């Protein structure tokens, strides 16, 4: 069959799911019939050693072999093999309502690109979701996702969703594990796809063994992905905070010790402020480099600010500013040396010399960082 000859493809990732697979496939075929939709059911087999493959073939599903292990890998194998205009993805454990896909069909036909299900709106059967997942993992990670990417999705990790095939394949999804669910929502939001959420009910799964999901390991991978996909929150905002603290601290203490509300702010605070400035500038450079790298490799979409940066900031400009700071720092060292020789190498006054030393160290550190960061930016822009 040619691409898009089906209206809907149902893709089910599978790894040793013989206990529940029969019910899942029967519900899938029933839903296609009830909705009067021309479609197919695909089982993306991820190396099952039980009878899952035989069950799928016997019931009329198409089996796609995906030998590389991973939830995301299995799903992408199914997506690429699908021949439908729309795709519904659902787990093989019989915990989701695959027997009623009418809500998906309605929203997709209405023009939405990604239709998410929300288990917290539709209801979670007692014992269907572990306590930590229900009250900590899913709510917290979903809240972080909403905040970072400004997307109105209350359940980032639901295993039941639907989308336009070509739109989703165009996002360049890469995650191999369970964090694939987060990547799908995040990249859809970053690329301004139309997203909508509808309720679903989560039931106890139909298998006797435990799930493939590993609570802490997969939760951590979800969190890391959300942060990595947002260089602004991971790098830029912390750098701005450190730069602000450092700049205020240096301004208040450079001329000497001060007292604010009875609290003495001395030379120690000055050097802490210098450390904040150095750290803030380093993290700011990482923010820029991370954004350039992510965009060049298709992980994040292009942005107007990045285009302006690449237009005006060239390798030579970065090196020039870095060299100027290095020259300034060498002049500072020469000044300190001259001051020291003027005392016939006796001890200098800490109140003045150490503050100048701090500024010299700041210029030296930032100059070196800027020169090498400029070379690295040029490398990843090629």
User: What's this model's pTM, rounded to 2 decimal places?
Assistant: 0.79
Same domain, 216 and 235: no
Hey, what are 315's tokens? Answer: 């390798």
Residue 65 lies in a domain: yes
pLDDT at 3: 65
What would the 3-class secondary structure string for 188-205 be?
A: HHHCCCCEEEEECCECCC
Residue 108 lies in a domain: yes
Same domain, 141 and 101: yes
Same domain, 297 and 251: yes
Residue 242 lies in a domain: yes
Same domain, 177 and 315: no
Q: Phi, psi at residue 124, to the nearest 5°?
A: -120, 115
Label the pairing between strands 114-118 and 84-89. unpaired
Strand pairing partners for 14? Answer: 45
Contact 118, 200 (CB under 8 A): yes
Same domain, 216 and 237: no
Task: Please give the Cα distance from 89 to 99 (Å, whole number).
Answer: 13
Residue 83 lies in a domain: yes
Residue 184 lies in a domain: yes
Same domain, 21 and 121: yes
Q: Give the number of domains in the chain.
A: 2
Same domain, 211 and 237: no
Task: Please give the Cα distance from 12 to 92 (Å, whole number).
Answer: 6
Residue 288 lies in a domain: yes
Output Rg (C-alpha) for the chain, integer angstroms: 28
Same domain, 171 and 186: yes
Tell me the residue range of the domain where 10 lies: 6-228
Q: Which of 210, 228, 246 is the last residue of a domain?
A: 228
Hey, what are 376's tokens? Answer: 């690295």
Same domain, 201 and 315: no
Across the chain, where does the E strand assignment appear? 6-14, 39-45, 62-65, 84-89, 114-118, 161-164, 195-199, 258-260, 263-265
Same domain, 125 and 17: yes
Same domain, 200 and 348: no
Residue 367 lies in a domain: yes
Task: Please give the Cα distance from 79 to 82 (Å, whole number).
Answer: 5
Secondary structure (3-state) at 284: helix
Task: Please give the Cα distance from 275 to 246 (Å, whole number).
Answer: 7
pLDDT at 263: 62
Per-residue pLDDT tens over the stretch 235-251: 999 999 999 999 998 88
DSSP state of 47: S
CA 348 to chain centre: 51
Integer angstrom CA distances of residue 256 from 139, 248, 259, 264, 358: 49, 14, 10, 11, 13
Q: Which of 228, 250, 269 is the last residue of a domain?
A: 228
Task: Tell me which residue has tokens 């001060």.
Answer: 258
Strand pairing partners for 84? Answer: 6
Q: Which segments in the chain show pLDDT lower than 70?
A: 1-4, 212, 257-265, 306-313, 339-340, 342-352, 382
Closest by alpha carbon to 309, among 380, 369, 366, 245? 380
DSSP state of 4: T
Per-residue pLDDT tens over the stretch 70-106: 999 999 999 999 999 999 999 999 888 888 899 999 9
Q: What is the dihedral of CA 19, 22, 28, 31, to 10 degrees?
A: -120
Query: What's the length of the chain?
Result: 382
Q: Which of 197, 228, 259 is the last residue of a domain?
A: 228
HSE (side-chain half, CA atoms, 13 Å) at 262: 0
Residue 1 lies in a domain: no
Secondary structure (3-state) at 160: coil
Same domain, 267 and 331: yes
Label the pairing between strands 62-65 and 84-89. unpaired
Task: Please give the Cα distance from 365 to 264 (Å, whole number).
Answer: 28
CATH of residue 88? 3.90.550.10
Task: Please give the Cα distance from 120 to 137 (Å, whole number).
Answer: 13
């Amino acid at each position: 069959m040619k691409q898009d000859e089906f209206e809907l493809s149902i893709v089910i990732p599978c790894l040793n799911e013989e206990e529940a697979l029969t019910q899942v496939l029967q519900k899938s075929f029933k839903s296609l019939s009830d909705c009067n939709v021309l479609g197919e059911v695909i089982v993306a087999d991820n190396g099952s050693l039980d009878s899952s493959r035989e069950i799928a073939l016997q019931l009329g599903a198409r089996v796609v072999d995906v030998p590389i292990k991973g939830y995301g890998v299995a799903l992408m194998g199914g997506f690429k093999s699908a021949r439908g205009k729309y795709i519904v993805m659902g787990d093989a454990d019989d915990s989701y309502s695959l027997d009623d896909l009418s809500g998906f069909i309605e929203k997709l036909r209405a023009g939405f690109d990604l239709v998410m299900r929300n288990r917290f709106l539709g209801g979670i059967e007692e014992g269907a979701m572990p306590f930590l997942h229900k009250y900590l993992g899913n709510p917290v990670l979903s809240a972080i996702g909403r905040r970072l990417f400004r997307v109105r999705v209350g359940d980032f990790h639901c295993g039941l969703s639907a989308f336009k095939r070509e739109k989703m394949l165009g996002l360049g999804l890469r995650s191999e594990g369970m964090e694939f669910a987060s990547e799908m929502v995040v990249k859809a939001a970053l690329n301004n796809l139309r997203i909508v959420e509808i309720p679903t009910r989560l039931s106890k799964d139909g298998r006797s063994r435990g799930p493939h999901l590993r609570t802490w390991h997969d939760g951590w991978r979800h969190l890391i992905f959300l942060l990595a996909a947002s260089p602004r929150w991971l790098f830029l905002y912390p750098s701005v905070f450190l730069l602000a603290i450092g700049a205020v601290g240096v301004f208040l203490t450079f001329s000497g010790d001060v007292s604010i509300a009875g609290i003495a702010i001395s030379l120690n605070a000055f050097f802490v402020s210098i450390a904040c400035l150095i750290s803030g500038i380093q993290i700011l450079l990482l923010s820029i480099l991370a954004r350039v790298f992510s965009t060049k490799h298709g992980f994040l979409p292009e942005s107007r600010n990045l285009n302006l940066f690449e237009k005006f900031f060239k390798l030579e400009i970065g090196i020039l500013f870095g060299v100027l700071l290095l020259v300034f720092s060498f002049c500072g060292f020469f000044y300190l040396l001259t001051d020291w020789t003027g005392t016939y190498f006796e001890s200098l006054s800490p109140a003045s010399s150490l503050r100048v030393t701090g500024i010299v160290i700041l210029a030296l550190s930032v100059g070196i960082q800027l020169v090498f960061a400029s070379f690295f930016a040029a490398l990843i822009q090629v």
